[in-house]
Amino acid sequence: MPKRIPIIIDTDPGQDDAVAILLALASPELEILAITTVAGNVPLALTELNARKICELGGRPDIAIYSGAIRPMVRNLVTAEEVHGKTGLDGPVLPDPVMPVQKQHAIDFIVETLMSHPAGTITLCTLGPLTNIALALVREPRIASRIKQIVAMGGGYFEQGNVTPSAEFNIYVDPHAARIVFDAGIPITLMPLDCTHQALTTQKRIEAFRTMTNRSGPATAAMLDFFERFDENKYGTDGGPLHDPCVIAWLLQPELFEGRLVNVSIECESELTMGATVIDWWKVTRRPLNAQVMRNVDAEGFFTLLRDRIATLP
């Protein structure tokens, strides 16, 4: 078997984060070095608890989980309980986890790991606000040239925003962190709303998880039932967008996605457009090409991958 891809998943679970984690747990191509948690969809204490619940659901209590930033760098924390529920993981009833949280802070873990592994080997998969990654870059700027790539869910251009008319949640929550990350010269692949809004959790797709004979499939269906109700209402679609698993799916099957290498700059000044990802899709500036921005996903292929993999979990 070819060498596994070493990854760190930085996340704020969240049902769609949870499905992304399950997909990673089910994928032998990936070596999960750790999961680091950040405040986002719900406060930090809950994102850390939820990450542990999901690892135990997926039969991997051995995964190391590190707790990270409790709030964004500059702004006050904005959460999204209206989407994810009070716990951040409303839907299935999952047991309280027994696996531990590591003592080391996530930011120290990220720095130490990148500095001690060969340069250009570790991929960061970011599923929430970019606070942990930015703080790690501030703490040890030399990590920038050691990160192989960042694959991030965030932003939007053609679809604009989901939390304000111009900003997507992950970038809006910590735009200052996002600016540090996008300006650091690290290769980035971005999954914006333009792409994730095509990956809809239709009834038919959810049923495929519900009818699995393992525990992870029906739990996924219960999470998606809860998660989609807010967006179905908002967008009037059959199903809601399944954002975060696109990050992991791209690592496994990049051919499911299409996009282009462009400049992404983050708005941090105007309150009206705070957290907007200004994507130079038509290359009208000479700004550096800092991110491969995905525009389309083969939604059928994406859900087939998810189904096939989650079926292999306990």
The verdict on 46 binding ligand BDR (CB under 6 A) reads no
Of the candidate residues 16, 174, 225, 231, the single one contacting ligand BDR (CB under 6 A): 16
The verdict on 194 binding ligand BDR (CB under 6 A) reads no
- Tell me whether residue 33 or residue 246 sits nearer to Ca ion (CB atom): 246
Joined together, the tokens standing for residue 232 give 């179905």
Determine the Cα–Cα distance for residues 105 and 68; give it in Å rounded to an integer: 6
The one-letter amino acid at 93:
V
Give the one entry of Ca ion, ligand BDR, none that residue 65 binds, where binding means its C-beta sits below a cut-off of 5 to 8 angstroms depending on kind. none
**DSSP output for 262-293:** E-EEE--S-STTTT-EEE-TT--S-----EEE
The verdict on 41 binding ligand BDR (CB under 6 A) reads yes
The verdict on 114 binding ligand BDR (CB under 6 A) reads no
Determine the Cα–Cα distance for residues 148 and 49; give it in Å rounded to an integer: 29
Determine the Cα–Cα distance for residues 63 and 55; give it in Å rounded to an integer: 7
Cβ neighbourhood burial of 3 (10 Å; 0-12, 13-18, 19+): exposed
The verdict on 170 binding ligand BDR (CB under 6 A) reads yes
Please say whether the beta carbons of 58 and 139 come within 8 A.
no
The verdict on 18 binding ligand BDR (CB under 6 A) reads no
Determine the Cα–Cα distance for residues 16 and 242; give it in Å rounded to an integer: 6
Of the candidate residues 10, 48, 56, 168, the single one contacting ligand BDR (CB under 6 A): 168
The verdict on 231 binding ligand BDR (CB under 6 A) reads no
Please say whether the beta carbons of 226 and 90 come within 8 A.
yes
> Which residue(s) pair with 278 in the sheet?
265
The verdict on 263 binding ligand BDR (CB under 6 A) reads no
- Tell me whether residue 129 or residue 259 sits nearer to Ca ion (CB atom): 129
Closest Cα partner for 6 from 97, 85, 106, 118? 118
Give the one entry of ligand BDR, Ca ion, none that residue 306 binds, where binding means its C-beta sits below a cut-off of 5 to 8 angstroms depending on kind. none
- Tell me whether residue 128 or residue 239 sits nearer to Ca ion (CB atom): 128
Told to judge if 243 belongs to the known catalytic residues of this protein, a careful annotator would answer yes
Give min distance, CB of 15 to ligand BDR, in A.
Answer: 8
Kindly indicate which of the ranges 60-68, 70-78, 98-106, 164-172 contains the residues binding ligand BDR, using the contact rule CB under 6 A.
164-172
**Active site residues per annotation:** 243
- Provide the binding-site residues for ligand BDR, judged by CB under 6 A: 14, 16-17, 41, 80, 83, 127-128, 153, 162, 168-170, 243-244
